[in-house]
A and B are shown apart, each in its own frame.
Chain A
Amino acid sequence: MAHNPDKSRPPATARRHLWAVLGIASLLAFAGLVPVGSITPSADAATGATSGVVCNRSSANGQSNFLLTATDGYVTVPDGNSIYMWGYAYGNGAFQLPGPTLCVTEGQRVNITLVNRLSVPTSLQLPGIEDVLADGNPSAPAFDSTGKLLSLAPPIGPGGSTTYSFTADRPGTFLYESGTDPQLQVQMGLFGTLIVYPAAAAPGQADAAYAYDTSSPGANPGDRPVYTGEPGSIYSASHEYGLTLSEVDPDLHVAVEQATGHVFTSADYTAPYHARYFMINGRSFPDTIAPNGAPWLPAQPYSALSEVQPFDPAGNPLPALLRYVSVGVTTYPFHPHSNHERVIGVDAHFLRDGTADLSLEKFAIVVNPSSTQDATFAWTNTEDYEASGVPVAVPETLNLTTGDFWNGTPYLGKTGPLNPGINQKTECGEYYHVAHSHDLTQATNYGASFGGMLTLIRVDPPEDSSCG
């Protein structure tokens, strides 16, 4: 969960181990896969956290220096298919999807060296970042002698490298992606997230952080969220999640794989583009809820499970932060169930105009291609049915169809039996809510329901008693 080694973070708990084991067992059973041994997906991923943003930081003397390698590899999807991809490795490490999450601080000079180990020219573009230099010269689109666009950034030939430099002059969520033949190369997996944390000191409150600035909420008090009345950009540093949305046309990837060794461009693929797999953080459900660094997903290190506890003005006052990134070719209508999310930033711009609060509570987070959104989320146990009981008699479980992510009761923190043959996945009466693309054809694995661009929001009971 925690991204940020220099901020306080709750220790890994027994429950998280249990969850990881449970996840492995059930997911292996589902996908029929064999674990291939533990890996460390990127520099400082071994934080003990099972979900949430995994930051790669490389800061010295007020600068951040990163090395990325464009290379190839394979990812798995839950129906057992294996898909050839291109992607960014951290340093000289192994291929991963998406690329490593790079974390820097506002005001820092950032240097990203990209080494090209692909058989095609490539480059890096950073939408929303200004005055990027490539090896000291302005990183500008390249055209051939006839005026045809070659690349959105100076192309790097196979085996070559370029260092991109810029100043991270405003906080927010950015993405990086290929600037060369992006309709092919981004689809192939050349994308990742860049997070710029604000330079302002963190709030005094334990576990609190700002996504943007420290300004207090503005006018428009009728539109306050139910959880704090203080939206701003404050959030719980231990509840920061990244959700990178993408899709895959497997036929295109087979064509590229078979062409390995010579230059393959989007112009060489003449079949109609048709996505069949839909992903969050390079994974399709149920892999999306597997822990960070799950050993059976060696090239897909990032979990998309988010975990919260009920909002409590005294004990749990801070919302979670979700950083949405889209690298797809269509707009994704992402729908988190339960409480709405409050969109506080779009394309790394805080939704604030002077004192006017322009943030918006939404039940559909609509993320455009090459765009990012930051949303805060808190879950409020509004009804408190645990105290009153639900107002209807609950039918016997045998008279209902029961889902394996149901705790067997209407109540948070309670458990009851599910029907025979259902392998209950809850641990301590926690709730699960789904969050998914509401183009429901995208909430599938190649057309099969309850897959694809779908993940879970885990709501733990307040006292976290039996949960560890």
Chain B
Amino acid sequence: MSASMDRRKFLTLGGAGAVGALSVWKLADAAVGGLLRGQAPPGIGHVPAGAKALQLVATDGWASMPQGSLPVDPWFPDVMAPEGTDTYIFGFRNVTGHSRAQAEGQRGVTQISAPLVYVEAGKELWVTVSNVGLSIRPDLTDSHTMHWHGFRNAIPFYDGVPESSISVPIGRDFTYVFRPKADSAGTYMYHCHFEDVEHVTMGMSGVVFVTPPGQPDRAYAEELPDTDPACSRFDRQYAILLTEIDNRGHFNDAHIQATDWTDFQPNFWLMNGRAYPDTLAPNGAPDAANGTPKPPPGAGNEHLAHQPNSSLIVCQPGERVLVRLASLGFQQHSLTLPGIPMRIVGKDARYVGADTGAWVDTVDIGPGESRDVIFTAPSQPGRYPLFNRDMAKYPGIAGDAWHGGQRTEVVVQSGLDAQTEPNGWSL
């Protein structure tokens, strides 16, 4: 919502606008039914062979910061939050293959960070964004978009910027078609661009990456031997999205208050939608039958049903590990991995090769940037923290200064199966 305009919209339209939009959804239902099995709706077009088709619903919901976090009165925890949650969010959820009713049933149960999306260069990616409205704010008639941040071939129509393009009103679907070219391998990100500062920080952000044609085990199209520092071959890959949360903005959105976004001053720093120590919890998977979110397995993870994406990096001694870093926060970050030298092989989805790549101990990354980093796992099994060196700003709690910050771990252990999906996560 815009600070003032939507307030006026609310006052003049009241609930009527929202009700009208919902009835439109019903009308549209018949026309787009086929979409829900991963196919393009009749009359929309044919998803080409080899292409990936996804359906993402855009809606609101609730997430949870780490248990035991210090309150920030009155903003955090939000008194309106359902049991087990504390922070109001917007987000994208993957409902590919689910029925229309199931997709619509996700209104109010979104997630942060958004689903990890990837595609092979040269193949198409069709992403249908379905705006199912906001459960807590039926007064807001916000549209949503998908902006593939850094995608080079975008025409405005598929760029997701509402002012220079279209956006998706409540009750509507829109299918974005992306055709990453053969030379476009690398790590990108995606986010909603509607009222961008608000929708992005509310959680409508995720990682999308492109693999080189026919080389799923390389970050970029090259065939250098492992011994070459510029080699981008890996045994395992993990994508980590960096964001921040200022709970005042989240509270204000839930409580129909305006936010001056130039006041932004985060109180949590997230990796893949979670703050430490939740970053270490495993991935969560929704109920396969109906798409309902479920918490990750394990005691103490019950609060993470709406934050399914782990940041734990697990690998075997001597393996090459690719870490795809992307930032959609508003701050500059410096990530360090003590004891393990890192080689930057990509910046902003461009291979940096021998001339401009570098060995580093700290990776700098700013808002809207990406870095592809490769390291060789130490021969010594163990736990190696990977964290934002600017830790002084973390909230912390008594006995744990890292609490609430951007910190995860590289766990080196033997006896692992080969990785089949990035982050061990399958869309």
Our verdict on whether A and B bind, yes or no, reads: yes
A residues apposed to B, CB below 8 Å: 219-220, 222-223, 226, 274-276, 330-331, 333, 335, 337-340, 353, 356-358, 360-364, 366, 380, 382-383, 385, 390-393, 395, 399-407, 409-410, 412, 431-434, 437-441, 443-444, 446-450, 456
* Contact between A364 and B156, CB atoms less than 8 A apart: no
* Contact between B40 and A331, CB atoms less than 8 A apart: no
* Contact between B181 and A382, CB atoms less than 8 A apart: yes
Asked if B350 lies at the interface with its beta carbon under 8 angstroms from chain A, I say yes
List 7 A–B pairs whose Cβ atoms lie within 8 Å, in order of A's numbering. A220-B353, A333-B369, A406-B163, A433-B161, A440-B200, A448-B4, A449-B261
Residues of A within 8 A of B149 (CB): 335, 363
Contact A393/B352 with A401-B168, A447-B262 known, Cβ cut-off 8 Å: no
Asked if B301 lies at the interface with its beta carbon under 8 angstroms from chain A, I say no
Partner of B261, one of A274, A434, A447: A447
Asked if B150 lies at the interface with its beta carbon under 8 angstroms from chain A, I say yes
The minimal Cβ–Cβ distance linking B54 to chain A, given in whole angstroms, is 14
17 further interface pairs, Cβ-Cβ under 8 Å (given A274-B262, A357-B355, A390-B177): A275-B262, A383-B153, A392-B40, A392-B45, A401-B162, A401-B169, A402-B166, A403-B164, A406-B163, A433-B156, A433-B159, A433-B161, A433-B164, A438-B328, A443-B196, A446-B262, A447-B261
Asked if B8 lies at the interface with its beta carbon under 8 angstroms from chain A, I say no
Asked if B139 lies at the interface with its beta carbon under 8 angstroms from chain A, I say no
* Contact between A337 and B261, CB atoms less than 8 A apart: no
* Contact between A444 and B352, CB atoms less than 8 A apart: no
Residues of A within 8 A of B197 (CB): 440-441, 443-444, 447, 449
Residues of B within 8 A of A383 (CB): 153, 155, 179
Asked if B44 lies at the interface with its beta carbon under 8 angstroms from chain A, I say yes
In the bound complex, CA of A409 to CA of B158 (Å): 11
Asked if B90 lies at the interface with its beta carbon under 8 angstroms from chain A, I say no
* Contact between A439 and B2, CB atoms less than 8 A apart: no
* Contact between B172 and A395, CB atoms less than 8 A apart: yes
Nearest residue (CB) in A for B4 is: A448
Nearest residue (CB) in B for A459 is: B156
In the bound complex, CA of A441 to CA of B249 (Å): 12
Residues of B within 8 A of A382 (CB): 152-153, 179, 181
Residues of A within 8 A of B67 (CB): none
In the bound complex, CA of A390 to CA of B126 (Å): 12
Residues of A within 8 A of B221 (CB): 222
In the bound complex, CA of A360 to CA of B46 (Å): 37
Residues of A within 8 A of B4 (CB): 448
Nearest residue (CB) in A for B42 is: A393
Asked if B276 lies at the interface with its beta carbon under 8 angstroms from chain A, I say no
In the bound complex, CA of A392 to CA of B158 (Å): 11
Asked if B183 lies at the interface with its beta carbon under 8 angstroms from chain A, I say yes
In the bound complex, CA of A447 to CA of B155 (Å): 28
Residues of A within 8 A of B356 (CB): 358, 360
Chain B 94-129 residues near chain A, CB threshold 8 A: 124, 126
* Contact between A406 and B166, CB atoms less than 8 A apart: yes
* Contact between B330 and A441, CB atoms less than 8 A apart: yes
Main secondary structure of the interface of B (DSSP, over half): loop
In the bound complex, CA of A340 to CA of B28 (Å): 37
* Contact between A444 and B261, CB atoms less than 8 A apart: yes
B residues apposed to A, CB below 8 Å: 2-4, 24, 28, 40, 43-46, 48, 124, 126, 143, 147, 149-150, 152-159, 161-169, 172-175, 177, 179, 181, 183, 195-198, 200-201, 221-222, 259-264, 328, 330-332, 347-353, 355-356, 366-369
The minimal Cβ–Cβ distance linking B185 to chain A, given in whole angstroms, is 11
Residues of A within 8 A of B348 (CB): 340, 360-364
Residues of A within 8 A of B165 (CB): 403, 406
The minimal Cβ–Cβ distance linking B133 to chain A, given in whole angstroms, is 14
In the bound complex, CA of A44 to CA of B28 (Å): 58
Residues of B within 8 A of A437 (CB): 367
Residues of A within 8 A of B126 (CB): 392
The minimal Cβ–Cβ distance linking A408 to chain B, given in whole angstroms, is 9
* Tally of contacts, chain A with chain B, CB under 8 A: 193
In the bound complex, CA of A338 to CA of B159 (Å): 8
Contact A401/B347 with A443-B196, A447-B261, A447-B262 known, Cβ cut-off 8 Å: no
Contact A434/B153 with A333-B368, A362-B350, A383-B179 known, Cβ cut-off 8 Å: no
The minimal Cβ–Cβ distance linking A318 to chain B, given in whole angstroms, is 19
In the bound complex, CA of A433 to CA of B153 (Å): 12
Contact A434/B161 with A364-B348, A412-B155, A444-B261 known, Cβ cut-off 8 Å: yes
The minimal Cβ–Cβ distance linking A247 to chain B, given in whole angstroms, is 10
Contact A449/B169 with A274-B262, A337-B159, A438-B368 known, Cβ cut-off 8 Å: no
Nearest residue (CB) in A for B195 is: A449
Residues of A within 8 A of B328 (CB): 438
Partner of B347, one of A219, A362, A390: A362
The minimal Cβ–Cβ distance linking A289 to chain B, given in whole angstroms, is 11
The minimal Cβ–Cβ distance linking B224 to chain A, given in whole angstroms, is 11
**Most chain A Cβ neighbours within 10 Å, of B162, B173, B200, B352:** B162
Residues of A within 8 A of B147 (CB): 337
Residues of A within 8 A of B153 (CB): 380, 382-383
In the bound complex, CA of A357 to CA of B168 (Å): 43
Residues of B within 8 A of A333 (CB): 332, 366-369
* Contact between A335 and B368, CB atoms less than 8 A apart: yes
The minimal Cβ–Cβ distance linking A271 to chain B, given in whole angstroms, is 14
**Most chain B Cβ neighbours within 10 Å, of A337, A360, A399, A401:** A401
Nearest residue (CB) in B for A274 is: B262
Residues of A within 8 A of B44 (CB): 392-393
The minimal Cβ–Cβ distance linking A273 to chain B, given in whole angstroms, is 12
In the bound complex, CA of A226 to CA of B46 (Å): 29
The minimal Cβ–Cβ distance linking A396 to chain B, given in whole angstroms, is 10
In the bound complex, CA of A392 to CA of B175 (Å): 7
The minimal Cβ–Cβ distance linking A425 to chain B, given in whole angstroms, is 9
Contact A434/B164 with A333-B368, A360-B347, A406-B156 known, Cβ cut-off 8 Å: yes
The minimal Cβ–Cβ distance linking B221 to chain A, given in whole angstroms, is 8
Partner of A363, one of B48, B181, B349: B349
Residues of A within 8 A of B177 (CB): 390-392
Residues of B within 8 A of A275 (CB): 262
Nearest residue (CB) in B for A337 is: B159
The minimal Cβ–Cβ distance linking A410 to chain B, given in whole angstroms, is 4
Residues of A within 8 A of B368 (CB): 333, 335, 363-364, 438
* Contact between A403 and B166, CB atoms less than 8 A apart: yes
In the bound complex, CA of A272 to CA of B69 (Å): 27
Contact A444/B330 with A390-B177, A399-B169, A406-B166 known, Cβ cut-off 8 Å: no
Residues of A within 8 A of B196 (CB): 440, 443, 449-450
* Contact between A360 and B262, CB atoms less than 8 A apart: no
* Contact between A223 and B351, CB atoms less than 8 A apart: yes
Residues of A within 8 A of B195 (CB): 449
In the bound complex, CA of A247 to CA of B50 (Å): 47
Residues of A within 8 A of B260 (CB): 446-447
Partner of B156, one of A223, A393, A431, A444: A431
**Most chain A Cβ neighbours within 10 Å, of B152, B177, B198, B349:** B152
* Contact between A401 and B167, CB atoms less than 8 A apart: yes
The minimal Cβ–Cβ distance linking A441 to chain B, given in whole angstroms, is 5
In the bound complex, CA of A201 to CA of B355 (Å): 29
**Most chain A Cβ neighbours within 10 Å, of B143, B164, B349:** B164
In the bound complex, CA of A438 to CA of B200 (Å): 10
In the bound complex, CA of A405 to CA of B167 (Å): 13
In the bound complex, CA of A437 to CA of B183 (Å): 26
* Contact between A393 and B155, CB atoms less than 8 A apart: no
Residues of B within 8 A of A443 (CB): 196-197
Residues of B within 8 A of A409 (CB): 157
The minimal Cβ–Cβ distance linking A29 to chain B, given in whole angstroms, is 15
In the bound complex, CA of A139 to CA of B347 (Å): 39
* Contact between A450 and B163, CB atoms less than 8 A apart: yes
* Contact between B183 and A432, CB atoms less than 8 A apart: no
Nearest residue (CB) in A for B186 is: A363
Residues of A within 8 A of B261 (CB): 440-441, 444, 447, 449
In the bound complex, CA of A431 to CA of B163 (Å): 11
Residues of B within 8 A of A439 (CB): 330-331, 367
